[in-house]
Every structure is written in structure tokens, then in C-alpha cells.
Structure 1
Amino acid sequence: MADNDDKEDGAAAAAAPKKSKKKLIIMAAAALLLVGGGGATWFFFFRGHGEEAHAEIAAPKAPIFLDVPEVLVNLVGAPGERIQYLKVKVVLEVKEEKQVETIKPTMPRVSDIFQTYMRELRPADLTGSAGLFRLKEELTRRVNVVVAPGQVNAVLFKEIVIQ
């Protein structure tokens, strides 16, 4: 019987370390998972939100405006209709002062492209706010072609008269 007791005690002793190793591996994996999860949380959510994030944010620069000479053109009409005229004062909006210096030498081309485009307009093309919006978008597109590689943000109307 003593032999049986020794065998049982040996089997219990051998089984106990196997269980404790399994528990140890599970606890180590859980700890590793917690540490990894905490590190990932810090990396994705809190990293970079320290002192650098509290630095003062620079105020956005005010845009620069460049006047274009006044444009006066006659609109295309049907034969026998009264001739109508379009008078437009336009301002170009740019981001930086150095862009103004690159656009100024091309101002005769800008005036020319405006004149040639607007001479082909009909009074019906300018009706309502949608017509003026299309005119503004087309002038912006054309002026950007002329001043390339410079960039004009927008063409703004100061005055529009259809007579």
C-alpha cells in the first residue's frame, strides 16, 4: 500500500506543476495583452497631445485682393434687338503677397481673356444668381489658366451692371 501511496503522491505532484505552468502561461498572456492594449491606446489616442499640441495655433492669413481693370462689353443679342452692355468690376483673391507680384505682369492677359469671354455672353446667360455663379466660376477657371503656375482662389465681383 505504501507503494500505491507513493505512486499517487508522485502523480499528484507531477500533475500540479503542469496545471501551474498552464495558469502561469495564461496569466502572462493576459498581462501581455493588458500592457499591449494600454500601449496601443496611448499610441493612438494620447501620443502627440502633450506640450506640442498646446502650442499656439497660428492665425490664418487674410487673403490678398488684386483689382482688375473695369471691363465694359456689349452682349450678343438677336438681330434687331436693342444692344445691351455689361460692365463688371472684378477683384482677384490670392493667398499670399508674392502671388500678387507674379500676377501683375500678366494683368493685360487677364483683361484680354475676360473681354473675349464676356463678349460672347448673351443676356440670358446672366439671369439670376445661377448665371452669375457660372460667370464667376468660368472667369476663375480662365484666370487660373493665364496665371499658371500661380493660383487664384476666387474671382469676386465688386460691381455688375447690365444695361
Structure 2
Amino acid sequence: MADNEAEGSAGETPEGAGPKSKLKLIIAVVAVLLIGGGGATWFFFFRHHGEEVHAEAPVAKPPSFVEVPDMLINLIGGPGERVQYLKVKVVLEVKEEKQAEAIKPSMPRVTDIFQTYLRELRPTDLNGSVGLFRLKEELTRRVNAVIAPIQVNAVLFKEIVVQ
């Protein structure tokens, strides 16, 4: 019996050492991978170089503005209604100063196209912010058609009064 116990304990050691050493090997490999992955992540994403030079964004030129002469227009009303007037001060926004200078000779044409359109409006067309937004969009579309190939970025209201 003593021989059997000696053989059993001797037989358990090689078999018992195998699974324990495999488990230790797996844990060691996982630890190395985690440490290596953490180091690689830090190296590629979090390390800051002292010598890096960031390219500066080009300085954006401020837009230029072109004043349109003030306009006083009578709005369309129904028969028997009192006459209502629209007073508008408008500015055109363009990208560059040279575009602003190119628009100035066409200013009588721009004023004419604005007045022709504005005379067709009813007071209800200008109600609320939606009415003013539509008016801006329509005036922008019309001025761009008149001064093509130059493009106006926006028509800006300095003053708008319905009386």
C-alpha cells in the first residue's frame, strides 16, 4: 500500500503541475497583452510631441457690405382698406471688397428689381419671422439674378417698418 501511495503521489505531480503551469502561462500572456496594449494606446493617442507644429488656419477675410438706398413702398391693399407703407433699409453681404465695388455700378438695377417685387406684397406677406425670412430669400435670389456672375451671400435688413 505504501508503494501505491508513493506511486499515486508521484503520478499526481506531473499531471497536477501541467494544468497549473498552463494556467500561469495563460495569465502571463494575458497580462503581457494588456500591458502592451495599454502602452501602445498611450503611445499613439495620448503622447504629446513637444516638436509638433500645427498649421494655422488661414485668416478668414471679413465679408464686405454694400448699402442699398432706402426704399419707401406702398403695399397692395384691398378696396376700401387704408394704404400701408413699407420702409426698408437693406445691405448686401458679399465675400470680398472687389465684389462690392463690382456691384455698385449695378445698384440702380438692384433698386429697381427690389421695388418691383416689394410693390406686389401685401401686409400679410410680411407677418412674423417666416414672412421676413421668405422676403430675404426672395430678394437674395433676385439680386443674384441681376448681378450674375457675382454672388451675394445674404440680404440683410437694417430697418424694416410696416406702417
Return the TM-score normalized by structure 2: 0.67
Q: Is 1:122 matched up with 2:122?
A: yes
* 1:16-42, Cα deviation, whole Å (9 max, x unpaired): xxxxxxxxxxxxxxxxxxxxxxxxxxx
Secondary structure of 2:115 counterpart? helix
Give RMSD over aligned pairs.
1.5
The one-letter amino acid of 1:71's match is: M
The one-letter amino acid of 2:124's match is: A
Q: Is 1:109 matched up with 2:88?
A: no
Matches of 1:115 and 1:108 in 2, distance apart? 11
Identity of aligned residues (%): 76
The one-letter amino acid of 2:66's match is: L
> Which residue of structure 1 lines up, in the alignment, with residue 95 of structure 2?
95
> Which residue of structure 1 lines up, in the alignment, with residue 80 of structure 2?
80
Return the TM-score normalized by structure 1: 0.67
Structure 2: 5+ residue stretches without partners: 1-50
**Aligned positions of 1:1-163 closer than 5 A:** 54-163=54-163
Matches of 1:100 and 1:135 in 2, distance apart? 22
Secondary structure of 1:79 counterpart? coil
Structure 1: 5+ residue stretches without partners: 1-50
Provide the aligned length of Structure 1 versus Structure 2: 113
Matches of 2:151 and 2:86 in 1, distance apart? 26
The one-letter amino acid of 1:107's match is: M
Detail structure 1 runs of 4+ shifted over 3 Å in the superposition: none
